[in-house]
Amino acid sequence: MNELQVELKSQLEKFCLAKIEPFMEHDDETEEFRMSIFTDLGELGFCGMTIPEAYGGAGLTYQDCAVALEEIAKYSVPYAVTVSVSTMVQSIINDFGTEKQKSTFLPPLTAGQEIGAFCLSESGAGSDASSLKTTAKKADGGYILNGTKLWITSGGIAKTYIVMARTGGEGSKGVSAFIVRDGTPGLSFGKKEKKMGWRTSPTREVIFENCFVPEENRLLLEGEGFKVAMAALDKGRITIGSIGVGLAQRALDESVKYSLTRQQFNQPIFDFQGLQFMMADMACETEASRLLVQEAARLYDEGRPNQKIASFAKLKSTDTAMKVTTDAVQILGGVGYTREYPVERFMRDAKVLQIVEGTNQVQRVVIARQLKKEYTTH
């Protein structure tokens, strides 16, 4: 890490220990999201890390962002994900929006005063996002949206929604992207989902019933929405990857600390070779994941985004998070399965990292396609 990244990590460690860690067990139990924590992160500059300073962002690189999200994820995956998704919404507006759209929608998001949400998935359009059914019919001065989006992170608490809807025929070329604000007539929300993990982060259905969106809130031209969505998910592979690394690192930390103090057969359980091998593998896989995420972020920052490396990073880091958190529960034994220790929460939070921002099966498809292209070309 460079000097700036060391400072970011140190600042976030102090913040998380003071503002997040004391509440996480309670908030996970009660499914409470504290907007004050998000706002405080915004005041410190962590809610618009990669956005230019002209719009209130910090102007940091994705390598810096990965370090920051990894640190937040050690204490709370849900808050790290909230920052990650809101940052993705900002990147969409920054990359594809008009000057008016940027100046209108970005400042409250970068300041952490508001949260952004990304609306792509539907009941019949998850991994196959190009088959989405939500429609946007042309009307005088804009579009009328009808349809339902599922599993939307920050649904109901976000203020700015990036929505993919069908303006044309079947397939990806019929999809357009829109900015929809909370409070727009015809926009409503379903019940808060009861989830295995990420319980602090609300996930809801987002419903559009004759919801009018002005034409000035469309991103790019009609039919270019799928390009917007895929570009966003390319960045999401890096940010979700970094969250997986942070979660794995915290689970490893808890495992080593516990095993050094827990005595069995008159010695610390760390001294048993079976557990040493487990923790050595956990440390190795976590560091390998971190290096892949850093490489994907570095290539993106240098203007050479590599879809294969980004998919490697997302796949490896989230599979690692699932394996390492599961092993952490095993190492802590009986107490690991109770809420006396946080590793059971880590294990629950890890699972969906393998599903969001493109399932790990989809990442393997992406990697295989790139391999086929490379080997066919050469």
Kindly report, residue by residue over 129-181, the tens digit of the pLDDT.
Answer: 888 999 999 999 999 999 999 999 999 999 999 999 999 988 889 999 999 99
Assign 211 to helix, strand or coil.
Answer: strand
pLDDT digits (tens, 9 = 90+) for 214-252: 999 999 999 999 999 988 888 999 999 999 999 999 999
Position 117 scores a pLDDT of 98
CA 57 to chain centre: 18
Measure the CA–CA gap between 254 and 257, rounded to whole angstroms.
5
Question: Model confidence over 275-305: pLDDT tens digits?
Answer: 999 999 999 999 999 999 999 999 999 999 9
Q: Distance (Å, rounded) from C-alpha 6 to C-alpha 309?
A: 25
The two three-digit tokens of residue 214, written as one number:
């002005």
With pLDDT > 70 as the criterion, what percentage of the chain qualifies?
A: 100
d(CA 34, CA 20) in angstroms, rounded, equals 9
The reply to whether 3-115 and 227-377 are identical in fold is: no
Q: Which of 286, 281, 280, 257 is nearest to 269 (CA)?
A: 257
CA 109 – CA 88 distance, rounded (Å): 11
Q: What is the pLDDT of residue 247?
A: 98
Read off the pTM. Answer: 0.96
| Residue 184, pLDDT score | 97
| Average pLDDT over every residue of 350-370 | 96
Q: Is the pLDDT of residue 378 over 80?
A: no
* CA–CA dist 119, 129 (Å, integer): 11
- CATH 3.40.50.10490 matches 117-223: no
Tell me the pLDDT band of 128, cut-offs 50, 70 and 90: confident
In which residue are the tokens 């976000």 written? 158
Catalytic residues: 357
Q: What is the fold of 3-115?
A: Butyryl-Coa Dehydrogenase, subunit A; domain 1 (1.10.540)
Indicate the domain borders of the chain: 3-115, 117-223, 227-377
Per-residue CA distances from 104 to 60, 97, 109, 179, 355 (Å): 21, 10, 10, 11, 32
Q: Cβ distance 318 to 356 under 8 Å?
A: no
CATH 1.20.140.10 fits 227-377, yes or no: yes
DSSP characters over 134-191: -EEEEETTEEEEEEEEEEEETTTT-SEEEEEEESSSSSGGGEEEEEEETT-TTEEEEE
Q: Which of 51, 82, 367, 89 is nearest to 228 (CA)?
A: 89
Q: Tell me the pLDDT of the chain averaged across its residues.
A: 96
User: What 3-state DSSP class applies to 137?
Assistant: strand
pLDDT at 196: 97
Per-residue DSSP letter, 151: E
Tell me what pLDDT residue 299 has.
97
